[in-house]
Structure formats: C-alpha cells, structure tokens
C-alpha cells in the first residue's frame, strides 16, 4: 500500500480512496436516489436482468453499488454487469460500472 501511495498520481484523492478500499477503511457502497432505488428494490424480488436500453446502464450500475452488506447472492449480478460493461463503450456509465464491480467484489470476498 505504501508503494501505491508513493506513486505520483494525476488524481491523488482517487488514488488514496483506492488504497483505503484495499485496506478496508472505505467501501465502494454508495446509495443513490431515483431510478437506482427502484432497480434495487427489484433486485430484492429476484429481478436481475440487463437494462432494457443503454440509457439505463448508469442507473443499473448505481443500483448495484447500493447493495447492502447482507446481500448473499451477489454472484448473480456478475454476468449482467459484464454485459453492461460491454454495452457501455466509452460512456459515462463505465466509471459507475467499475464502482459496481468493486462493490460486488466487496460482497463476494468479505472477511468473516
């Protein structure tokens, strides 16, 4: 971690957040409002399918980012999130998809 912190970064704050996530001082979890909340509620009923249109990729990724720690079946989101990544291209949704992947990683590899 110290080697990573010693690197010159174009965005030092982002680098520090990554290090804090690796040290488990921070989490990728973030709660959003609007469409992501509605999608998150759908996940609780077992509804996990790719967004119908590319305009919803961002909302879908944000919904995954809000998954609570009690989520036990996070594995089911991986193939859908990978499909979203393929569809995202260079859109702004790509960054949210990466954060959602980080959240899934946290859920799948929790200590304890």
pLDDT digits (tens, 9 = 90+) for 82-107: 999 999 988 889 989 999 999 999 99
23 domain residue, yes or no: no
15 domain residue, yes or no: no
45 domain residue, yes or no: yes
Q: How many domains, in total, are found in the chain?
A: 1
Q: What is the pTM of this model?
A: 0.79
9 domain residue, yes or no: no
21 domain residue, yes or no: no
19 domain residue, yes or no: no
Name the more confident of 21 and 16: 16
5 domain residue, yes or no: no
Burial of 81 (0-12, 13-18, 19+ CB in 10 A): buried
Structural domain containing residue 101:
28-108
Alpha carbon dihedral 38, 43, 47, 48, in 10-degree steps, equals 110
Residues in the chain, overall count:
112
């Amino acid at each position: 971690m110290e080697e990573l912190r010693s690197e010159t970064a174009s965005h030092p704050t982002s680098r520090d957040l990554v290090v804090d996530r690796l040290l488990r001082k921070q989490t990728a979890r973030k709660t959003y409002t609007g469409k992501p909340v509605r999608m998150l509620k759908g996940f609780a009923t077992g509804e996990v399918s790719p967004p119908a249109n590319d305009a919803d990729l961002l909302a879908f990724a944000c919904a995954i980012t809000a998954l609570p720690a009690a989520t036990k079946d996070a594995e089911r989101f991986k193939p859908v999130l990978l499909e979203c990544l393929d569809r995202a291209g260079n859109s702004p949704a790509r960054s949210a998809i990466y954060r959602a992947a980080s959240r899934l990683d946290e859920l799948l590899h929790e200590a304890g």
